Amino acid sequence: MKARGWRVFATARQPEDIARLKSAEGVESLYLDYAEPASIAAAAEQVLAATDGKLTALFNNGAYGQPGAVEDLRVEVLRAQFEANVFGWHDLTRRVIPAMRANGGGRIVFCSSVLGLLAAPYRGAYCASKFAIEALADTLRVELEGSGIKIILIEPGPIATRFVEHALEAYRRNIDLERSHHRDIYRARIASMEGGGKQSFKLGPEAVAAKLVHALESSSPKPRYYVTLPTYAVALLRRLLPARALDAVARRN
């Protein structure tokens, strides 16, 4: 985006990542953790001050996946998933909407997932958070009609990032693997994740960036942008198949 002439404020949680974004990527960078309300407030205030309130776009992208069967998710584990993946996004979004209203428009883009379209076993926490984002974004799009503010969803399938690595950490940290009824399935899934997870149809992050460019620069952005073949397929199957058939699709994934 910077190469295309945008002034970019990139956020991160680790000091070394913030420093790298500034030095290696040449963008303005600051600390933000979606699970820390104080950091959200501070980042929003800093960016709005730096732009004199003329913020053009917000891209909500930071999230993680908490694996595990729904029955094995302690309430605090599910709450933490929503804090980072939903509540923090909502908080930041609310803080920029007034400035965009005052400017007569803007773009707010949410990075959802194919798992915001289709619930999959052992991914219940992550799926629930992405289904929530889908609903919030769709509602915002209707409520902000006529304001000039466009609400857009990007829905990737598998993307080559450190997502699997962090999901594996969350697996071990928050799921009682050995006492679970699902322990044999967990062992197999963890072994697959340690090998990098499924590679079929996986694209690089530039595939998402290409959709972001269109979402921010098109005069008529789409409400949704699918990324990777699985997302296109699931979007089609949702329109064609009954619920039980979709369950079968989910089990195979």
What are the percentages of helix, strand and coil residues in the chain, rounded to 5?
Answer: 55, 15, 30
Element (H, E) at 9: strand 9-12
Annotated active-site residue 34? The verdict is no
Closest to 229 (Cα-Cα) out of 142, 158, 133, 131: 158
DSSP string spanning 76-125? HHHHHHHIIIIIHHHHHHHHHHHHHHHHT-EEEEEE--GGGTS--TTBHH
Active-site residue (options: 34, 126, 171, 225)? 126
SS3 label, residue 13: coil
Active site residues: 126
